Structure 1
Amino acid sequence: MGRTKVLIVVNYVLEGGLTHVLLDVLRALNNRCDVTVLTIFDLYTEYIEEIKILAKYNTLDCWRRKISNNVLLSLYSRLIMDNRAFQVFLYNYYVSRHQFDIEVAFAEDWAINVVAKSKSRSRKYAWIHTDFLCDGVNDRETLISNTRLMLQRFDRTIFVSELLKQKFTTLLSLSKTISVPNAVDVDAIYKKSLCSCDITMNQDVLNLVFVGRLNHEKGVEILIDSMACLPEEYVKRCHLYIIGDGCERKFLETKIRENNLKNIFLLGAKQNPFPYVKQSSYLILPSKYEGFGLVLIEAMALGVPCIATKTVGATEVLDNGKYGIMVDYNKESISNAIKECILYPEKRIAYQSLQKTKLQAYTMDKYREQLNTLFQ
């Protein structure tokens, strides 16, 4: 029996949890499948070089790097590559020239749209990583209806947490669903955490670290607001380190400056954030919505407890507060949790003692076994 030919379609490859999960999937499938990663948009990052070691790589956006004029590039992006019908045309042309056993939409929105409209006869999987049907989104009923129609075209829908699967299955009346929780390679993360670091955190204060995209859904704005709420005696005893980049960076810099928050440090994107996480007292994830929250189990792998808002993903990973601190999505709740961590440092030790047990649910061996069964 030959190796399964798998096409994994992503919107683009940028710094973030999705890219790290993609690399884990490629490593897990490397010995059993011939995998091709296809991006819709060719936004080059160093992670593409990592992908090329583990799989074949291609892009629908093959003209972007050939256009040097910024005006022409902007017109090309808006009028051509952002056109969903054109994306579907390019995708079907690409698939018609190759032969795959399984096509995987590995990201929401664009990737799901093109794979759902594939004309090939291969098996189709949709992989849902985030709770984009959360309450509060604009025109939620239309989004639910459109998502239901789209996912019904797939042979299997994969979710990164059991609670996320249950929510989508109920809302969309889906069948043929499975949950495949993300995994963590504890040894690899620990080795990376030993690399040199350009800062040394003051261990006499509470060191909070956030790792993620600086986008609205990650809640960094409300985290900064919660720090601004702290009384002066707590401000002196707490530092916040923000690791990541994104469309909100300039806005967040202005907010920090206007509030004169000298205990908040924007460090930018780091390919290896683990030396920073390892030094911290708590990792904090104030997301508006989260399908899993890979950074939570990565922090736990380093013995760092977590504070997280009550998203679907964090609720499952932290077992509704058993393995970490869970807070409501508002500045008062987050601020109160920070004050408690300052006043009761022993809470940190209590959570650390439970982490090894929880990590057993997210081993790479279990992950490989699930994926090999799914892609055989």
Structure 2
Amino acid sequence: MKKKIMLIVPMLHQGGFERVCVATARLLDPFFDVYIVMFDSKDIAYNIKGLNVIDLHMGVKQELVGKLFNVLRRSFAVRRLKKKLEIDISYSFGPTANVVNVFSRRKEQVWSGIRSYMDMENKRKVSLLCRLSDKILCCSKMIEDELRSEYRCRKAMTLYNPLDVEEIRKKALAEQPRLPWEEDDYVIVSMGREDDVKGYWHLIKSFSLVKKEMSKARLMIIGDGNFEEYRNLAKKLGIADDVYFPGMKKNPFPYLNVGRIYVLSSHYEGFPNALLEAMTLGIPVISTDCMTGPREILKKKYKDNMKCSQENGKRRLEADYGILIANMNPEKNLEPEIEEEEVLLAEEIKRMMTDKGYYKRYKEAALARTKDFSNSAYVEILKQQIG
């Protein structure tokens, strides 16, 4: 008899752990009975055809009392489903789903997924998960190391996000993206939702410096949001016509594939899927040395060498598979002044754009690295853990 696996997720809107949830369901489906339980089906951005999906119709509440009541409602509903479906393992994605998962425990194994370093900021919640979970699946070694050292949590293990290399490349060629430019040889691309943690104001300011020396350079930021304040910043910098926000795309890969280089300007990440997706398409990458993920992706041994930072003077690192630069100021500044850290990023972009040997080196390195992340490796680890 197949074991029954429940995957719990708040929504299936565009996002990293939502994508991993759907991918996990598809990858495990041939071997187990898999159910996705979601709190609200509004704005589903992923293909769930053929999957067993249960919508609790319990959306977000804004006020504190409503939020607490929602946790209880969701927990009771999930507990009833666990009993009805005779679930063997429940695996949750994201902070709110993790809390519901541990509160709805019956006889099954409870696995909590920590998919972002920001999930570590609430120490009480992390301690709760360490106590009440049977396993904590981390998307990076750095998160696992911190759980083991700071919380003495021996339940933590690293499970990197799955990467469907062939599917990404196939989707990248599936359609022709609609761009506002005739020439697209020098497009800098980034991908992610509109969120302060992504540091997009730094990227836009750095691009304004690149544009002064490279007239054909363009910037495209793909993801959910209206980006109005960033559009205004581009106007202040005189580059409004050269910055494009195509919005959320169910298939973003044709747009991503236009990029000559990929830049990640985040202050925090879990395990940045978009960075690896760009590398899968042979796009060289420049990333902040933020917590967590980029260093593990771009270096063979992520603990080696001092972390890039302005304070220790190590502002950049030519890593094995891409360029790491010091993390930038997390305080949002939408005024057009340019800081030294933005000059540094602009210099890295210009070098990658213009030095053919350098570009070729990191294009080949990007392609080589993606072989280390595969669906088959992900499935094998999960099958071993499920037993």
1:129–1:292 Cα contact (<8 Å) kept: yes
- Cα offset, 1:221, TM superposition: 2.1
For structure 2, which runs of at least 5 residues remain unmatched after alignment?
303-318, 329-341
Length-normalised TM-score, structure 2: 0.83
Render the CA deviation track for 1:299-351: whole Å, top value 9, x for unaligned: 12211111111122010011162101111233233222112223423211001
- The aligned residue for residue 35 of structure 1 is 34
Length-normalised TM-score, structure 1: 0.85
- Looking at structure 2, the residues matched to 326 and 294 of structure 1 have their Cα atoms a distance apart, in angstroms, of 16
1:8–1:105 Cα contact (<8 Å) kept: yes
| Number of aligned residue pairs | 350
Q: Select which of 204, 226, 251 maps to 1:224.
A: 204
1:116–1:151 Cα contact (<8 Å) kept: no
Matched position secondary structure for 1:103? strand
Give the alignment's Cα RMSD to 1 decimal. 2.4
Render the CA deviation track for 1:98-128: whole Å, top value 9, x for unaligned: 22111112112x1111112124121100111
Matches within 5 A, 1:71-86: 77-78=61-62, 82-86=66-70
- Cα offset, 1:148, TM superposition: 1.6
- The aligned residue for residue 212 of structure 1 is 192
Matched position secondary structure for 1:326? strand
- Cα offset, 1:84, TM superposition: 2.4
- Looking at structure 2, the residues matched to 88 and 151 of structure 1 have their Cα atoms a distance apart, in angstroms, of 20
Render the CA deviation track for 1:155-174: whole Å, top value 9, x for unaligned: 00001122221133223221
- Cα offset, 1:367, TM superposition: 1.3
Matched position secondary structure for 1:53? coil
Matches within 5 A, 1:174-323: 174-199=153-178, 205-230=185-210, 232-234=212-214, 236-246=215-225, 249-261=227-239, 262-311=241-290, 312-319=292-299, 321-323=319-321
CA gap 1:90/1:160 in 2 versus in 1, 3 angstroms:
closer
- Cα offset, 1:209, TM superposition: 0.8
Q: Which residue type is aligned with residue 101 of structure 1?
A: D
- Cα offset, 1:133, TM superposition: 5.6
- Cα offset, 1:360, TM superposition: 2.4
Matches within 5 A, 1:55-204: 56-61=52-57, 77-78=61-62, 82-97=66-81, 98=84, 99-108=86-95, 110-132=96-118, 143-199=122-178
Identity within the alignment, %: 23
Render the CA deviation track for 1:48-76: whole Å, top value 9, x for unaligned: xx22412x2123325x6xxxxxxxxxxx8
**Structure in which a larger fraction of residues adopt helix:** 1
- Looking at structure 1, the residues matched to 77 and 375 of structure 2 have their Cα atoms a distance apart, in angstroms, of 36
- Looking at structure 1, the residues matched to 182 and 349 of structure 2 have their Cα atoms a distance apart, in angstroms, of 17
- Looking at structure 2, the residues matched to 297 and 46 of structure 1 have their Cα atoms a distance apart, in angstroms, of 20
- The aligned residue for residue 337 of structure 2 is none
- Cα offset, 1:204, TM superposition: 7.3
- The aligned residue for residue 308 of structure 2 is none
Matched position secondary structure for 1:78? coil
- The aligned residue for residue 351 of structure 2 is 340
- The aligned residue for residue 328 of structure 1 is 326
Q: Which moved more, 1:84-93 or 1:16-25?
A: 84-93
- Looking at structure 2, the residues matched to 52 and 152 of structure 1 have their Cα atoms a distance apart, in angstroms, of 36
Q: Which residue type is aligned with residue 103 of structure 2?
A: K
- Looking at structure 2, the residues matched to 351 and 371 of structure 1 have their Cα atoms a distance apart, in angstroms, of 31
Render the CA deviation track for 1:189-236: whole Å, top value 9, x for unaligned: 1111112223467667532111111111122122112223447224x2
CA gap 1:171/1:202 in 2 versus in 1, 3 angstroms:
farther
- Looking at structure 1, the residues matched to 282 and 158 of structure 2 have their Cα atoms a distance apart, in angstroms, of 26
Q: Which residue type is aligned with residue 325 of structure 1?
A: I
- Looking at structure 1, the residues matched to 73 and 381 of structure 2 have their Cα atoms a distance apart, in angstroms, of 33
- Cα offset, 1:96, TM superposition: 2.4
1:60–1:87 Cα contact (<8 Å) kept: no
